[in-house]
Amino acid sequence: MQDPKVILLVSGKRKSGKDFICEKLKTKLGENICSIIRISGPLKGLYASLHKLDLLELMSDSPYKEKHRLNMIKWSEGERDKDNGYFCRAACAEATVTPVWIVSDIRRKSDIEWFKETYRGITKTVRISADLDTRKNRGWKFTKDVDDAPSECDLDDFNAWDIMLDNNNTQQLETAIITVLEFLHIYTNNV
């Protein structure tokens, strides 16, 4: 199977606008050129099949999901400890190969390391930032065990981003999209 030409590894704090920007980029590039991958995508499916659970119930906002949530988190942490590429590999295996992949939920240094080792020379890191007030206006509220957890904080001190984007307003959003499109143009011939 062919690999993509460029993989953008996108990270940002909650409500910085990761999904919003990734979807805009995908729309601009078109789905034949660009796919969005979520490392967290296969997690529930793997957990459900391993533990013979109902995936649809697990995906819903139901008491069933709440009942299994903690065990699912513990299981995923355990799998990641044993093999830090476990979920990255599963997400890539089920992704459609297009010239550009955008991984929209990069959360840990180990995620970046796995992609850089597995897809040498074609991974680029992107950090999206928004001010605290902007994030609050978008609905962010400090949540214990979420905002102070490694999944939210591990990349706070990573400082080797290839692209850094601010996303506080429409003007910055437009600049961000142009910046990434120009960057992709440098790294691919066909995009």
Ligand X SMILES: Nc1ncnc2c1ncn2[C@@H]1O[C@H](COP(=O)(O)OP(=O)(O)OP(=O)(O)O)[C@@H](O)[C@H]1O
Positions in the binding site for ligand X (CB under 6 A): 12, 14-20, 138, 167, 170, 173
* Number of other residues whose CB lies within 10 A of the CB of residue 84: 16
Whichever of 53 and 104 has its CB closer to ligand X, that residue is: 104
Whichever of 18 and 68 has its CB closer to ligand X, that residue is: 18
Is residue 2 left, alpha or beta, with left meaning phi > 0 and alpha meaning psi from -120 to 50?
A: beta
- Confirm whether residue 19 is marked as ligand binding: yes
Whichever of 77 and 131 has its CB closer to ligand X, that residue is: 131
We find the least distance from the C-beta atom of residue 3 to ligand X, in angstroms, to be 26
We find the least distance from the C-beta atom of residue 184 to ligand X, in angstroms, to be 19
Q: How many CA atoms lie within 13 A of 144 on its CB side?
A: 0
Whichever of 41 and 187 has its CB closer to ligand X, that residue is: 41
We find the least distance from the C-beta atom of residue 137 to ligand X, in angstroms, to be 8
Whichever of 4 and 12 has its CB closer to ligand X, that residue is: 12
- Confirm whether residue 138 is marked as ligand binding: yes
Cβ contacts of 69-78, under 8 Å, gap ≥ 24:
72/43, 72/44, 72/47, 75/47, 75/50, 76/43, 76/47
We find the least distance from the C-beta atom of residue 18 to ligand X, in angstroms, to be 4
* Residue closest to ligand X, measured at CB: 17
Q: Are 183 and 11 in contact (CB under 8 A)?
A: no
In the numeric block, the tokens 């297009």 are attached to: 98
Q: Are 11 and 129 in contact (CB under 8 A)?
A: no
We find the least distance from the C-beta atom of residue 71 to ligand X, in angstroms, to be 23
Binding residues for ATP: 13-19, 138
Binding residues for substrate: 167
Binding residues: 13-19, 138, 167
